[in-house]
Amino acid sequence: MTEGVEWALHSCLNLTWSEPGQAVSAARLAAFYQLPTAYLNKQLQALVRAGILSSTSGPRGGFRLARAPEAITVLDVVVAIEGGEEAFRCEQILRQGPGGRGDVDYRQVCLVSQAMRRADLAWRRELAGQTLADLRAAVQQRYPDTPGNTRDRFTAPLT
């Protein structure tokens, strides 16, 4: 996965602590972790296209969650940034190997392909089973000052 997934997940998580109705600019979200604003903005726009974030333009514009944190899974964010392709692509190299046949779909019968597909499904199930609300609750339990500190950073002047 690209770094954009990490950036998008942290940005979405931080937006769970913004004041209700508050839009946070890409520049402010980028400044939070000293990220390049233009590149983060591309990730944020992908999240808007996926219906995870909404955006408004203008001096008070920016980004906010488009759905409740309970309705946004980690997988939703990953797919918005990386796409829905499987991690492993079987190229059916068994066709070229000893005894390989052109009329066989090796994506279906190859044990390596099956193992990789099972792993991909397990990974997706795990990510789909965890929401932004779950992450938010875990962070708040371990680091109780995070919500207030995040809101403070969102309202402090950008340097």
- Mean pLDDT to the nearest integer, 134-159: 93
Instruction: Quote the CA–CA distance of 95 and 121 in Å, as a whole number.
Output: 25
- Residue 23: closest CA among 15, 13, 11: 15
- Mean pLDDT to the nearest integer, 97-114: 92
- Residue 24: closest CA among 46, 13, 115, 100: 13
**Is residue 159 over pLDDT 80?**
no
Encode pLDDT of 17-70 as tens digits. Answer: 998 889 999 999 999 999 999 999 999 999 999 999 999 998 888 999 999 999
pLDDT band, residue 1 (cuts 50/70/90): confident
Instruction: Quote the CA–CA distance of 91 and 46 in Å, as a whole number.
Output: 29
